Amino acid sequence: MELQGKVALVTGASSGIGEAVAKALAAKGVAVGVAARRSEKLEALAATIREAGGRGMPITMDVTNRTSVQQGVEQLIAAFGKIDILINNAGVMYLSDIDALKLDEWERMVDVNIKGVLNPTGAVLPYLLAQKSGHIINVSSIAGRKLFQGLSVYCFY
């Protein structure tokens, strides 16, 4: 697939895999909307992408909030005219045994790791269908296939 001239949204782009994917896409000529909650990290990443000759746009977004996601998608499309690729990468993993009963962490993991895929997909899919092209890539963890001690709720998905 030719990436030059495409537009992508990468969630969870403020660090780790999301940051690396955003940089790699930008190096291939993709205009990248880097999305996460940490605005200062996104500003720095977008600046790094631009300094390397790419096109990067910071989008402060909470993937658990449909309104926030929809606004972010609209910002990206307003800036670059379209969207071609969604990388659903946002996720959290809290380390604790299930008998620790950290219910707030469980709820946060469900919100980010499940709604964080559904909300961006729901916001982007109508655009991809209308243009009859595009890609949605969901990043997941090996913990979806294998159990690890201390990750019982995380591995539950």
Distance between the two ends of the chain, CA-based, in angstroms?
31
70: CB partners within 8 A, 6+ apart? 123
Give the separation between CA 47 and CA 54, rounded to whole angstroms: 9
Candidates 94, 127, 154, 157; catalytic one: 154
80 sits in which H/E element: helix 66-80
- What are the residues facing 35 on neighbouring strands? 11, 59
157 carries an active-site annotation: no
Length of the chain: 157
Active site amino acids:
154
